[in-house]
A and B are shown apart, each in its own frame.
Chain A
């Protein structure tokens, strides 16, 4: 009789509580897709995602801001980007070069981009065009002469 009471009053509610914990856990997983899906990614992917807000900020500055603001934000992005992210660092250097008023400065910065991402070395003009298209204000919304081949 005593065992029956223990099962009924203690073990039973505890078992129901434990089962409900599992139910609650699975319901919470589907509560917020962004939280759930981000948590399910690997560490390297999550690390990469952490760079995206900075990239979006830099892209916004590149698209709309004056050259001084754009340069400041590009510099901060460069400081933030890991050495291992060569293509992103190269893109940032190309943007720097495009808004550099000095042709010699442009050449120096483009060569840094080439070091960061060797795949752009032979296609610097195309890489530059991709960046000038997304800059919506001058200067920097047209290819510099050094990339057009018009500079001696």
Chain B
């Protein structure tokens, strides 16, 4: 009985320590950069896989004017920023057309994806 309790105490301590350590380190890393910087980083790298990026894109979006939000949506869809770098052409075309842009064909949307950000 006592051995079982002791094992539980050690296991519990290990689990709590692991979770707390992980959470603290992640929060520190999050606090070290802004949402806009992380979205910028994702634009610079070609295929980001990040669970945080969806939230960051939303934070950046909230700061924008309505017409710029639509353009950000277009950028996010063509670059696949929230899909691990996998473009969402259907969403990109839908956003593009709903905004009445002059060209929304696939070659034009693919050109958007090519821009490099250093």
* Residues of chain A whose beta carbon lies under 8 Å from any beta carbon of chain B: 8-9, 12-14, 16-29, 31-39, 41, 46-53, 55-57, 59-61, 63-66, 69, 72-73, 76, 134, 136-138
Contact = CB atoms under 8 A, between A and B. Distances in A.
B10 A46 contact: no
A49 B37 contact: yes
Interface residues of chain A: helix, strand, loop or mixed (majority) = helix
Interface string B77-118: 001000000000000000010011111100010011001010
Contact of A53 (B40, B51, B67, B103): B40
B42 to A, nearest CB: 6
Interface of B: 6, 9-10, 12-26, 28-30, 32-34, 36-45, 48-53, 60, 64-65, 67-68, 71-72, 74-75, 79, 96, 99-104, 108, 111-112, 115, 117
Contact of A64 (B21, B34, B108): B108
A63 B108 contact: yes
Contact of B41 (A9, A49, A55, A137): A49
Contacts of B25: 24-26, 28-29
Contact of A16 (B17, B64, B96): B17
Given A28-B23, A59-B115, A20 B52 contact: no
B74 A60 contact: yes
A69 B74 CA distance: 15
Nearest to B68: A57
A21 B45 CA distance: 31
B29 A39 contact: yes
A11 to B, nearest CB: 11
Nearest to B48: A34
